[in-house]
Amino acid sequence: MLNHKQILNRILGMIVLMIISACAHHRDVRPGGDGINKVVLMNDEKNFSGRAALSQAENYCEEQSRRPMIISETNQYIGSMDESSYNNAKTGAKVAEVVGGTGYVLGGKKESDLGGVIGLGGAVAHEVIGQGYRYEMSFKCQ
């Protein structure tokens, strides 16, 4: 049976792998037959996706020695709970992850165990709540 530290180490390993695999240059670009392309991203935060979408559009167009021209952008909340509750729940999950991780790393034996459980609970809550925002950007390479 795995102890708390082994479980957290495996979770951290999975997170690192997810980050490394997420570094594709334009994995969310959907080429359009009419020259109008789209980037569609799901995210936890309302104001985060625009930068990531633009970066992917730039990488996509660079392969054609062009630059992206943004045609339209939309960012909407699509979660199953009301938006305010979603944001509060996400904040609570993040706090639990940080506080738990700090206790795990800096605490003694009891604090480390408790911190691991709290941090793991925050990480699980974060995933269960899901990504509530859908950002879509249409662009042309020119």
Is residue 12 within 8 Å of 97, Cβ to Cβ? no
pLDDT tens column, 53-80: 999 999 999 999 999 999 999 999 998 8
pLDDT tens column, 7-43: 777 777 677 656 555 555 788 999 998 999 999 999 8
Close Cβ partners of 117 (under 8 Å, ≥ 6 residues apart): 4, 100
* Runs of H (alpha helix) within 4-108: 4-21, 49-62, 83-106
User: Which letter does DSSP use for residue 80 in this model?
Assistant: S
Match 């980050």 to its residue by tokens: 19
Q: 119 vs 72, which has greater pLDDT? A: 72
Which pLDDT score is estimated for 90?
75
Distance CA 56, CA 62 (A): 10
